Every structure is written in C-alpha cells, then in structure tokens.
Structure 1
Amino acid sequence: MLRHWRRSREERDSAERLYAAVVDAARRPEFYEGLGVPDTVEGRFELLALHFYPVIHRLMYRPDGDPELARRLSEAFVRDMDAVHREMGIGDISVPKRLKKLYGVFAGRISAYRDGLRQGGEALADVLDRTIFFGRSDRQAAARLAAYLAEAVAGLEDADLAEWRAGAVRYPGPPAEAMEANR
C-alpha cells in the first residue's frame, strides 16, 4: 500500500513538473511583446491552452503515449486554475462553477486546434485569430502563431516522455518576428 501511495505521489510530481514547463513556455514575453498576444488573464489563458495542446496530443494519441500522465497533467491545470481564481478573490461558492465553464472553454480550444491542424491552410490561423487575438484580425500574427503550433506538434511528436516527467519540454523557439520585435 505504501508503494502505491509513493508511486502515485511520484506520478503527480511528474505531472506538476510537466505542467510548470508548459506554463513557462506560455509565459515567454516574445509572444506578448513580439506577436501582440494580449497580456491579460484571457490572453495568458489562451497561450496556456495553445502550449498545452501539443503535449496532450502527444500523450493521448501516440501509441507510446501516456494517457495517465495526460490525466494528471489536466488535474494540475485544474488545481492551478482553482488557485488563480481564489487569488483573484473569487468566492468559494463561485469557483467550481467558473472552473467548469473554463474547463469547457479549454476543451473547446483543444478540439479547435486539432481540427484546425487537420484542415490545414488558413483554418488554424482562423481559429487563433478568433481565440487568441479575439477577432481583431491580426492575420499575420495569427499565421505566425499557427506555424509555431504546427511546428510544436511536429517537434514534440517523438519527444522522450522521461524528459517530460522531469519537467523538460523542448518547444520550438517563438516565431522569428516575435524574437526580432523583442530586441
């Protein structure tokens, strides 16, 4: 029984490290300063969802994936969102309702990214323009971010899950235009 508890704790710790790596990637200033992603609660949530997608995709849809790690990663996301809402002063009674709605939005983003990548062409850029840029029609930035997401999905497809459990996820660098604007 103690062994089961210890293994469960190790799996949770792995998911927490992986989640921290996803959050770190989503917080890179180049996305906000260079591409114009709104540096708001909503904008940060959208970039978190965008960076979450390639990891979940790898864990859930590859034959050598790890659906259990994906589940624990999702639990880490929910715990973090719970803490964020409470820090923002949202009352205990409202937090579960808001989290349910937020998780539904998050699941919708994951589905939209999957569909956009499958359709190819402008479809993913359309999704990103609508969700991350809130429809303000920054087509160039949305197209750059779409290319970044496609590159991240392809680049993480064969990633070493042992490295992920240690908290090392190798996302591609932000789009070159974002890097130049940040200089």
Structure 2
Amino acid sequence: MGLIDCLKRLVGGASPSPVAPLYAAVVNEARQPHYYVEGAVPDTLDGRFDMVVLVLSLLLLRLEEVAGGDAHHPAAQLSADLADHFLTDMEGNLRQDGIGDQVIPKHMGRMMAALGGRIGAYRDARGDAEAMGQALRRNLYRGAPVADAAVAFVAAAALGLWSRLADTPYDRLAAGDLEPTP
C-alpha cells in the first residue's frame, strides 16, 4: 500500500471494496419487505442478520459451483472477498452498536460459525422445498413458532433466488448483479 492509500485510510477516504456492489445487492435482496411480511421473518437485528446470511449463503454456494473446486478460479477469490466484506460489515455494525473491543472477537466467532453452518444447511436443502423449510425453521426462525405458510413462502423465495443465481453468469455476479441476463 502506498503513502497516498495510507493517508486516504487515515482520513476516511479509502476506496470502496471491489465487492461492495455485490454485497450491497445481497443486503438489498435480504431487505425485501416480502420476507418480513409474507415470510414472517422477524424485523429485528437478528432477523435481518439471518436474512443477509441466507442470501449470502446461497450466493457463496453459487460462487463455489462456478469455481468448481479450483481455489485459483476468480470465483473462489470473489467468494473469499465477499465473506471478508460481510465480516468487516458485521464488525462495523457491532462497533456502531457500542460493542467493546474485548467482546467483538466472541461475536465475530459466532457470526463466522453461523455463516459456515448455514452454508452447509442451505447447501443440503437447495433442491428440496421441504428440506429448505426445515433448514429455515432451524436457522432463519431459530426454532421459534412460525406459520407453515410463512416458512413455505420463504422456502419458495430462497429456492427461486437459488434458481436465479444459478442462471446468472459469473461476470454479472462479479459486477454486483444477482439477476440473470434478461
């Protein structure tokens, strides 16, 4: 990093992350009102976190497919950068909420574990509405009682998102677009 970059960071003028548009698309998808209305996702800090993790998990799984197990594929790097951006954003949110330096690592560990666990749960449920519903009950709703219709709505929406992501070319994803080419 050069002197100019260091100075920009010190005065808050750091250039945005190259994955910022893609992360913004994830957050935008996760904030769609239908998840909270028809899907009865709690409109709370935890509920919004869990929605971001759901959308991010599906996107990371799509990037995993694109990379095809090749750690040197650009999709693998994009996936790692996106996960890092998520964690940086979550750390910033914790600090903004007044969480102290000594407790942040504990919270970050829980968030990383949540992301990893949910990627596994949603990977197993990608093609099955019933399995997705069960994964959502455990992870998105955290075992709280919720109407079957709400779970079915979010399961269908998640599977629809997975289908859209599967149809979206890598270059569009890398540019921050979660929609297939029209």
Give the distance between the partners of 1:143 and 1:16, measured in 2 at CA: 31
Cα deviation digits, residues 139-169 of structure 1 (max 9, x gap)? 2111121111112112211312322233222
Contact 1:58–1:157 (CA under 8 A) maintained in structure 2: yes
Contact 1:14–1:167 (CA under 8 A) maintained in structure 2: no
TM-score (norm 1): 0.79
Pick from 104, 107, 113 the counterpart of residue 104 of structure 1.
113
**SS of 1:122's equivalent?**
helix
Does 1 or 2 have the higher relative contact order (CA < 8 Å, sep 6+)?
A: 1
Q: Identify unmatched segments of 5+ residues in structure 2.
A: 6-15
Give aligned pairs, total.
162
Q: Once superposed, what is the RMSD of the aligned Cα atoms?
A: 2.2
* Corresponding residue of 1:37: 41
**SS of 1:66's equivalent?**
helix
Contact 1:82–1:95 (CA under 8 A) maintained in structure 2: yes
The aligned amino acid for 2:118 is R
- Structure 1 residue 100, shift from structure 2 partner: 0.9
* Moved beyond 6 Å, runs of 4+: none
- 1:164-175 equivalences under 5 Å are 164-170=173-179
Q: Identify unmatched segments of 5+ residues in structure 1.
A: 6-11, 172-183
Identity of matched residues, %: 33
**SS of 1:133's equivalent?**
coil
TM-score (norm 2): 0.80
* Corresponding residue of 1:83: 92
